[in-house]
Structure formats: structure tokens, C-alpha cells
Structure 1
Amino acid sequence: MEIQFLTIQDQELIISALVYGIIFLVLLTTGLLLFFHYSRRKIIQKELEKAALRLEHQKTILQATIATQEEERKRIAQDLHDAISARLNVVSLTANLLLDDDGLNEDQKASLEHILGITTTTLESSRKIAHDLLPPILDKFGLKVALEELFEDFTKSKQLQIKHSIDDLDFLSKTNELHVFRIVQELINNATRHGDASRLNIELQKETESRFTLTCKDNGNGFDVSKIKKKSGIGLQNIKSRTAILECTLHAESEIDKGSIFTIQSKRP
């Protein structure tokens, strides 16, 4: 049996073929890895673009919805002022004129005074509702004065104490001032109606020329934070919606029977 040995030239050819084969496999594998990497990046980028478009679309719808709400508030406030209040003023004036008639007996005077009392109370209620729907002081004097008047209105009953510190946010547009005003209004309503709070501490701080922090702390009943994350009431949902439009973060801290703290802060640029 004759054994044939490979020549040095044949061995070099085999080694060269193996080396080239390995290089080819490495290059092929690298190419495939790079292809899948960049393909994955493109897919992720497209998904992020789609998500951004969805968020922008949702924000547009949200802004349109809230704008419609504000227009409806304005219409109702004007109807209260122009129609109902005007007619009640006529009733009040007529009742006062009739009371000046010396020919009325005591029962008739008592009835007119009763009508006048109801009319006066209804007028005050309609003015308050109209004011809550469309605070004229906000447009005339700005957010700081409007909030101070809001706190004064809430504390007139002596059942609620509001300690506050309000900075002038001169960088906000009129629309964004209204959003902040509505948020504070809703926070107070939630604290008093649902939390039975008797004391509130509200701070609105100007952090920079474009950022602010709003903090509302109450001594109410508190709530389970995990539950409101799953399902929010209308009031809190309104706060979340306006916070999103302002491009702020909303953080809630609360414990049962230990009150609540809401912090709304502008996102860092």
C-alpha cells in the first residue's frame, strides 16, 4: 500500500482555502448582523415616529376638546348674565316698587319680601356660577390676582382655610394661565368635596423663565394612589388633561386619613 503525502504547495492551498472560507463566513456573519441591526433600528425609529404622531394627535384632540369646553362655559356664563340675571333684576325691581305701595296689607308685603329674598339669593348664585365658569378678573388682571380672589371666595364660609404663596408667572400665555387656574380650581373642589379637607396649602413657584411648580397640600381623608392610577374621576381626569397640555408632570402622594399632596411641575427642556 502506497501512502501519498501532500506536498507543501498543496498544504498551503488547503490552508489558504480554509482561511479564505473563514474570512468569508466572518464577513457574511458580520454583514448579516449589521443588516439586522440597522433594520431593527429603522423599525424602532418608525415605531417611535408613529408613537409621536399618535401622541401629537391625542394632544390635538385634547386641546380641541378643552377649547370646546371653555367656549361652552363662556356661552353659559353669558346666558346667565344676559338672560337670567337681567330678568331676575326686573323681578327684583318690580318687587321693590310694589313694596312702596301703602295700600298693601301685611300678608301681601310678606309675600313680596319673600319673593325679593328668593330673587336676591338666586341672583347671587347665578353671578357666582357665571364667575366660576368665566372669571373676568383672570383676563383683566392675570393669574396671580385671579387665584387670590378664588381663594378668598372659597374661604368666605370660614369652613375652609387656604394658606397660599403665589408667584407671578409672566411667561404664560392667556390660554395657559386659564389651564393653571382651572387646575387649582379643580384641586380645591376635589379636596373639599371628596376629601372633606378644612385646610389647604397652595404654592405656585416660578422656577425659571419658562418653568413653574404648583403644589397643593390638604388635610383631607386621603385616598389610595394605586386606585386613581387605574381609574380617575372626572375632576382628576380634567387635571391630568390640562397638565398634559401644559407639558407638565403630575405627582400625587396620599394616605388614608393623612391628607394628600399634588405636585405639578414643568418638564425640564
Structure 2
Amino acid sequence: MNDNTFISIIGISISLLIIMAVTLIAFFHHTKKKIIEKEQEKASLKITHQQKILQTAIAIQERERKRIAQDLHDAISSKLNIISLCTNVLLIDKTINDKQKTALEQILNITTGTLESARKIAHDLLPPILNEFGLKAALQELFEDCSKHTKIAIEDDIEALTRLSKNNQLHVFRIVQELINNSVRHGKANELVVYMEQNETGFVLRYQDNGKGFDVDKINGNSGIGLQNIKSRIKILNGTLKIESTPNKGSQFMIRCNYDK
């Protein structure tokens, strides 16, 4: 074998090795790409499945709220009204003595207070003004009611979300309702600011309180039921949530949602 033949064999061998190496690299790259695509598809299906479960859970929750509100109105409030009416009839009876009158007045006071509580609970569960007059009116009533019962000062600047469906308006109402509950119960706030503005693609909701605040990293890792509920509804609204808070310096929640195309 002369030198030229040997060199040719070496050259051919090296070429074959390069081709094999390139082929193997291409094969592994293609295989890896297919695996990644399958994993992404699986993750997408998982997210879609979780989203459907989430939407179903929220829908069931709202149906249960509606049922309880209806039961409070039909079963409890109606019976309390009958008790109140009968008590008033007995109170105008001239034959009752002072002791009986005092007992009847106590019954009437308790019944009236219980009836008011039942109405408030039913209203919180399913605000009728939301369906009749829309989100802006329902939120303004919520703010007035909150200020009346808790003495919290609420500054608001909210626009009517005219492009939002009634169902999604209910989600926004529940989000604000839950944020207020958290500020009152956990944050011990006495001042709130609620800003809501609609734009071409969606809307922005900014909620701020002067409460005791919290560690954002800690709360993200171990969210309570209230915050989980808020996040769930924001996902349904195709939105994002940004939380800023410092212990003893209040909290701010920035929610941005896009309308469905």
C-alpha cells in the first residue's frame, strides 16, 4: 500500500466518522426536541386541565353561594318576618303586663337584629345590585357598606368595565371583596385606595391599604385560602397579579387583565 492509498483511506475514514458524528448529533438533537415538545404538550394539557378544574370549582362555589343566599331569604328571613309581625301584634294587646311586654320587646329586638344579619349575609353572598346595575355600582355599595360598619376610609376611582361579562364582573367583585376582608381581618388597616381603569385590551385594578403588611416571599410560598381564591379568579380573568408589601408599611396589589379576543 503506497502513501497516497493510505492517505485516501485515512481521509475516507475521517469523513465517515464526521458524517456519523453529525448524524448522531442531529439524531440526539431531534430526539431531545421531540421530548421537549412532548413535555411542553403535557404541561400545557396539565395547565388546561387545572384551569378547567379551577373554573368548575369557582362555578360550584358561586352556585352554592346563590343557594345559601336564596335559603336565607326564603326560609329564614321569611320566618323571622312572621315572628316579628306576631310579636308586634302581641305588643299592642292592652291586656299584657309589663313583664310580658318587656319579654316581647326583647324577642322583637333579637328578631330584628337577626333579620338584619341574615339580610347582610345574603347580600354579601350574592349582591343583587351587581346584576341590576353592574360592577361599578356594586363596588360603590360595597365601599359604603364597609365604611359604615368598619369606619374604614376608602378612596376610590373606578370605571365601569363595560366590556366585561356579568360572570367576570362577579369575579372582579369577589376579588375586591376578599382584598377588603384581608385588610380588615389581617392587615388591621383603616385606609384603603381602590383604582380601576379600562383600556383597549383589558383593565387595571390597583388596591392599596395602610395595614401592617407582610413578607411577600413568605406569603407566596404559603398563601392562605383568601389569597388563593384571589389568584384563582385572576387566572380565570386571564390576568396577572403583582404584590408589593413591607411589614408595618401596608400592601399594594396590582392586577392586570386582558379581555378575551
TM-score class, shorter-chain normalisation, is over 0.9
Instruction: Give 1:66's match in structure 2, choosing from 37, 58, 64.
Output: 58
Counterparts of 1:1-269 in structure 2, within 5 Å, are 10-157=2-149, 159-208=151-200, 210-266=201-257
**2:218 is paired with a residue of what secondary structure?**
helix
Q: Which AA in structure 2 matches 1:228? A: I
Instruction: Name the SS of the counterpart of 2:187 in structure 1.
Output: coil
1:29 Cα deviation from its structure 2 partner = 0.9
Following superposition, the deviation at residue 229 of structure 1 comes to: 1.3
How far, CA to CA, are the matches of 1:118 and 1:68 in structure 2? 33
Output the CA distance in 2 between the equivalents of 1:16 and 1:207. 72
Matched letter for residue 49 of structure 2: H
Give 1:225's aligned amino acid.
V
Segments of structure 2 that go 5 or more residues without pairing to the other structure are: none
Bigger Cα displacement from structure 2, 73-82 vs 115-124 = 115-124
Stretch of structure 1 that moved more, 148-157 or 100-109: 100-109
Deviation at 1:124, TM superposition (A): 0.7
One-letter amino acid of the counterpart of residue 129, structure 1? I
SS for the counterpart of 1:220 is: coil
- TM superposition shift of 1:252: 1.1
C-alpha distance in structure 1 between counterparts of 2:230 and 2:54, whole Å: 12
TM-fit CA distance, 1:228: 0.8
**Preserved contact between residue 212 and residue 265 of structure 1 (Cα < 8 Å):** yes
User: So what's the TM-score if we normalise by structure 2?
Assistant: 0.95
Does the aligned pair in 1 maintain the 2:237–2:258 contact within 8 Å? no
Partners of 2:210 and 2:251 within 8 A in 1: yes
Shift of 1:110: 1.7
Return the alpha-carbon distance in structure 2 between the equivalents of residues 92 and 157 of structure 1. Answer: 24
Q: CA deviation at 1:143?
A: 1.0
Aligned residues of 1:77 and 1:131 also touching (Cα < 8 A)? yes
Superposed CA deviations along residues 32-86 of structure 1, whole A, max 9, x for unmatched, are 1111111100000000000011111111111111111111111110000001000
Q: Distance in 1 between matches of 2:167 and 2:150?
A: 32
Q: Structure 1 residue 158: deviation in Å?
A: 5.8
Q: Which amino acid aligns with 1:60?
A: K
**Is the contact made by 2:203 and 2:258 (CA closer than 8 Å) also made in structure 1?**
no
Q: What amino acid maps onto 1:144 in structure 2?
A: K
Shift of 1:236: 0.9
Which has the greater radius of gyration? 1
The 8 Å contact of residues 207 and 253 in structure 2, kept in 1 or not, is answered as: yes
Give the total of aligned pairs. Answer: 260
Tell me the CA shift for residue 157 of structure 1: 2.9
Q: Which runs of 4+ in 1 moved over 6 A?
A: none
- For the 8 Å contact 1:253–1:262, the answer to whether it is kept is yes
For 2:22 and 2:253, locate their aligned partners in 1 and report how far apart those are by CA, in whole Å.
52
CA contact (8 A) 2:216 2:244 kept: yes
